[in-house]
Structure 1
Amino acid sequence: MSIDIPHQMLTGGGLGAVNAMQDSVVLANCIYNMTQVTPQSITSVFEEYYRQRYPRLDAQSKRSQLMSFIMGGKARGHVKAFEYRPQVAWLPLIPNRGTGYVLPQEGPGPLPMLT
């Protein structure tokens, strides 16, 4: 078993790297949306990160374990995971060009550029 810290993902599931990238994007968005730098706002950032990520990570960790035991039909198990596609909030959002459903972006959208 490989461990994607802080999420345990079995290598058979193939979700470790994806979750690491999603963690980075969601945490960066939460930090970007901070209005002030205080201990309370920093705590609030990590609470919001946890709120957005934990339910998905828990479900994907369980799915990863199950998929490690099932060899056939792996691709179908990933469809639900591919619906969640966080994007960096301060860059233009990439349109969905696929045929699958993509969940809407959480949190405020890009801020207007300062000139």
Structure 2
Amino acid sequence: MLEEKVFKTWHHGRCVLMGDACHKLNPAGGHGAVTAMHDAITLANLIYAMPTKTSDEINRIFEDYQKERYPAVMEAFKGSQIMAKSIEKSITGALVLFFMTRMPMWLWRLSLKKMVQYRPQAGFLPNIPLQGSVVPIVSPSEQKARALFENQQQQEQQAASI
């Protein structure tokens, strides 16, 4: 028996939780490591864009981190529960597996699109053009980090040209 749970509290003071420490997902869904990496990218973006290093500011970015990641984690959690049901040895599991194997391709694509559009990008690195078919949701943390990164790049170019 595996426990699945999304905790209400992800941080306290200067300590913050990521991955399975704040949202345990069934391994059958394949979302555990991916959500942990997305947590890390979101947190790195927020830390990069942090204007000051005060305790209040740290607490605020931890709140922003949880607010940004919670909807995506809940989406992964729901998907994880469905996958767990499909491998269950019961009538419910058999029904879920039956419907999943007979689901039309357009519905699979819709479901997969919903899962992969939550993928934060590192805003503190040069932007790489999109190569996939699903456009990611631009996260607030990425926007903050990207704005700061591009501003610093412009300043460096101006200083180099002088």
Q: Same fold (TM over 0.5)?
A: yes
- Residue 5 of structure 1 and its aligned partner are, at CA, apart by 2.2
* Residues 2 and 11 in structure 1, CA contact (< 8 A), matched pair in contact too: no
- Output the CA distance in 2 between the equivalents of 1:95 and 1:21: 20
Q: Is 1:26 aligned to 2:42, yes or no?
A: yes
Residue identity opposite 1:104 in structure 2: V
The match for 1:90 is 124
The match for 2:114 is 80
The match for 2:72 is 56
- Output the CA distance in 2 between the equivalents of 1:43 and 1:9: 26
Residue identity opposite 2:81 in structure 1: Q
1:100 to 134, 138, 156: 134
User: Which of the two has higher C-alpha Rg?
Assistant: 2
- Output the CA distance in 1 between the equivalents of 2:40 and 2:133: 26
Select the structure that is richer in helix: 2
TM-score computed with the length of structure 1 as normaliser = 0.84
C-alpha RMSD of the superposition: 2.3
2:53 to 14, 37, 47: 37
- Output the CA distance in 2 between the equivalents of 1:91 and 1:34: 16
- Output the CA distance in 2 between the equivalents of 1:32 and 1:54: 20
- CA offsets per residue over residues 49-70 of structure 1, 9 Å max, x none? 0110012112211221112223
Identity %: 33
Higher RCO (C-alpha 8 Å, min separation 6): 1
Aligned residue for 2:62, secondary structure, equals helix
* Residues 118 and 137 in structure 2, CA contact (< 8 A), matched pair in contact too: yes
The match for 1:14 is 30
TM-score computed with the length of structure 2 as normaliser = 0.62
